[in-house]
């Protein structure tokens, strides 16, 4: 016990000083955290503005009202007029008109299909009647056509009521538009301007968003006898290709036989001196049959008056 008492005792201050203590909190850490949050939020906002989340748009498109039931109501007519003004103000259209020139002096002319289709035919036509109106095909297409009928550039608006997946134009609708556009170019280069689509190959490259102007381009590749080869594409106003297609419309014997059933003879009245002269009439297709996009009538043929040794076209 005496030995224990003789052990040196450490002062109380020394014992407490030798124990470990926590370092004081670093100053400025809240400022660094706040700065990182601000920088991260700013970066995310900038990237989101430059590169919109298309996947999110596809999965959850913005809501839109359905098409009006009366396409001739004041609201529908006002919407159509507003859309027409936007169409005429497109920079692409101004560029096409400037490069193609006027119909009198340039190599291209301009036309608006469906505007000449009679009302009794329009109501039973898919693209000219059933799909016409706000939310669908609100405007007739505006076409810039090369005078030799080898190329066409068309601009039209596709609405929200033409969708399969909400916000995305139905693939069948795009194929229909391509079929009619390619058919117009092809029929203008077929004999008698009568034909049907033998086959149509469609390659969907990217989703086509609804409620926008799209650009349809068609081009004649080759014409040989009763067949023509044409190709085309659908793109947006920025030139991004959305759909590509190739088609072979042809003039088959079955089409010719069917067209013959609906042909009307086109003969002129002959003078009295030729009343007994046999006449062979070449017929022309009825205006309601085999029309190209826009309802332009096909060519007509005249009649042949047969006299001994002489064939005269009347």
* Model confidence pLDDT, tens digit, residues 164-212: 998 999 999 999 999 999 999 999 998 878 888 999 999 999 999 999 9
pLDDT of residue 132: 92
Query: pLDDT grade, residue 157 (50/70/90)?
Result: very high
Using CB atoms within 10 A of its CB, is residue 180 exposed (0-12), middle (13-18) or buried (19+)? buried
Please choose, from the candidates 143, 111, 140, 106, the residue with its C-alpha nearest in 3D space to the C-alpha of residue 125: 140
pTM of the model: 0.64
Query: pLDDT grade, residue 161 (50/70/90)?
Result: very high
What tokens does 307 get?
């006299």
Backbone angles phi, psi at 57, to 5 degrees: -65, -40
Find tokens 């280069």 and name the residue: 189
Is 50 exceeded by the pLDDT of residue 231? yes
Which CATH number fits the domain 74-259, given the four candidates 3.30.70.600, 3.40.718.10, 3.10.129.10, 3.30.1490.100?
A: 3.10.129.10
Query: Is there a contact between 245 and 209 (Cβ–Cβ < 8 Å)?
Result: no
d(CA 48, CA 248): 44
pLDDT digits (tens, 9 = 90+) for 5-44: 555 555 555 554 555 555 655 555 777 787 787 787 777 7
Report domain extents, the chain.
74-259, 262-313
d(CA 285, CA 263): 5
Is 50 exceeded by the pLDDT of residue 275? no
Is 70 exceeded by the pLDDT of residue 282? no
**240-268 average pLDDT score:** 72
């Amino acid at each position: 016990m005496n030995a224990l008492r003789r052990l040196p005792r450490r002062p109380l201050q020394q014992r407490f000083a030798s124990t470990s203590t926590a370092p004081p909190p670093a100053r400025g850490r809240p400022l660094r955290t706040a700065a990182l949050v601000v920088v991260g939020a700013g970066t995310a906002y900038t990237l989101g503005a430059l590169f919109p989340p298309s996947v999110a748009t596809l999965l959850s498109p913005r809501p839109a009202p359905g098409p009006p039931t009366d396409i001739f109501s004041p609201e529908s007519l006002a919407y159509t007029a507003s859309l027409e003004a936007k169409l005429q103000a497109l920079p692409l259209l101004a560029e096409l008109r400037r490069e193609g020139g006027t119909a009198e002096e340039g190599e291209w002319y301009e036309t608006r299909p469906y505007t000449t289709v009679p009302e009794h035919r329009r109501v039973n036509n898919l693209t000219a009647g059933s799909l016409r109106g706000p939310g669908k095909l609100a405007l007739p297409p505006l076409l810039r056509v090369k005078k030799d009928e080898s190329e066409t550039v068309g601009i039209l608006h596709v609405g929200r009521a033409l969708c399969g997946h909400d916000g995305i134009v139905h693939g069948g609708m795009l194929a229909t538009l391509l079929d009619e556009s390619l058919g117009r170019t092809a029929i203008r280069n077929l004999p008698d301007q009568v034909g049907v689509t033998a086959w149509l190959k469609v390659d969907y490259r990217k989703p086509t968003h609804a409620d926008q102007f799209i650009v349809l381009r068609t081009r004649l590749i080759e014409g040989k006898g009763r067949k023509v080869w044409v190709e085309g594409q659908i793109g947006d106003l920025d030139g991004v290709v959305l759909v590509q297609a190739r088609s072979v419309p042809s003039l088959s014997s079955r089409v010719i036989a069917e067209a013959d059933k609906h042909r009307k003879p086109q003969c002129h009245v002959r003078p009295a001196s030729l009343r007994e002269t046999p006449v062979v009439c070449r017929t022309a297709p009825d205006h309601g049959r085999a029309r190209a996009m826009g309802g332009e009538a096909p060519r007509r043929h005249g009649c042949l008056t047969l006299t001994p040794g002489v064939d005269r076209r009347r």
